[in-house]
Amino acid sequence: MADLPQQQWAEELSNDNNAVILDVRTDEETEEGIIPNAIVADIYQGQEFINQLEALDKSKTYYVYCRSGGRSAQACAIMNQLGFANTKNLLGGFSEWTGDVSNN
C-alpha cells in the first residue's frame, strides 16, 4: 500500500492504464458526489464488502479513497491481505479532493 498526497495520487491515476478507483464511503457520503468512474464499496458492510473485493481483478492497481483517508487505509490493508498487490490510498480523502466530481 502507498499513502499518496492528492497531487501524486491523481497524477499516478491519470498515467495508469491498469487503474481502478475505489470509493469505500457510505451511501450517505457518496450522495455528496464521487470521483468520476469510481466503484463504490462501503467498508462498513463487513462481509459484503469482502465479497465485493473478492469479485475484483487483483491484477489491477486500486486507487482507494474515503472521506478523510482513514477507512481507505484500512481498505488497502484488507485488500493487501486478500492478495491485491497494488493499492494506493488518497491522503486527506474526498474531503480535501479538488479534482473532478460526478454525481453518484
Query: Which entry of 66, 73, 76, 79 is annotated as an active-site residue?
Result: 66
CA angle 40, 91, 47 (to 5 degrees): 35
**pLDDT value for 88:** 98
Handedness of CA 43, 48, 50, 56 (dihedral sign): negative
**pLDDT value for 104:** 66
Give percent of the chain above pLDDT 70: 99
66 is catalytic: yes
What domains can you pick out in the chain, each with its CATH number? 2-96 (3.40.250.10)
pTM of the predicted structure, to 2 decimals:
0.96
**pLDDT value for 103:** 87
What are the tens digits of pLDDT across the range 5-57? 999 999 999 999 999 999 999 999 999 999 999 999 999 999 999 999 999 99
